[in-house]
Amino acid sequence: KNQVEQSPQSLIILEGKNCTLQCNYTVSPFSNLRWYKQDTGRGPVSLTIMTFSENTKSNGRYTATLDADTKQSSLHITASQLSDSASYICVVSLQTGANNLFFGTGTRLTVIP
């Protein structure tokens, strides 16, 4: 069964600290993996997208890693800011011609001063 699981479900960190969010998937055949940031009440915004051959991709203070062998990905946030408070969603795409995506339920990150 194709599934995407994220951990932790929620996380509270102090401003300026680093954190790492996890995503495990069983989606196969795998095409790509995306991390999205979703502010409350708004649509998700893409942070990174990685294909099978990519191990790491950065977008400013956000760094995503992918281990396609163990089917795990992580999103590392460096020097967190209050504006990082949001839900982070991991999305895995199937290798098909259609737009076939599997969503994790997200990690709710709260950054406190």
Residues forming contacts to other proteins in the complex (CB under 8 A) are 31-32, 34, 36, 41-46, 49, 51, 89, 91, 93, 98-101, 103-106
The residue (of 15 and 49) whose beta carbon lies closer to other proteins is: 49
**Straight-line distance from the first to the last Cα atom of the chain, in angstroms, rounded to the nearest whole number:** 41
Plot region of 112 (φ>0 → left; ψ -120 to 50 → alpha; else → beta)? beta
Q: 57 or 78: whose CB is closer to other proteins? A: 57
Answer yes or no: are the C-beta atoms of 13 and 19 closer than 8 Å: yes
C-beta closer to other proteins: residue 75 or 104? 104
**Kind of pairing between the strands at 4-7 and 56-59:** unpaired
Tracing tokens 């995306």 back to the chain, one arrives at 34
Closest to other proteins by CB, 32 or 72: 32
CB of 104 vs other proteins, minimal distance in Å:
7
In angstroms, give the least distance from the CB of 16 to other proteins.
29
Shortest distance, position 51 Cβ to other proteins, whole Å: 5
CA distance 94 to 97: 9
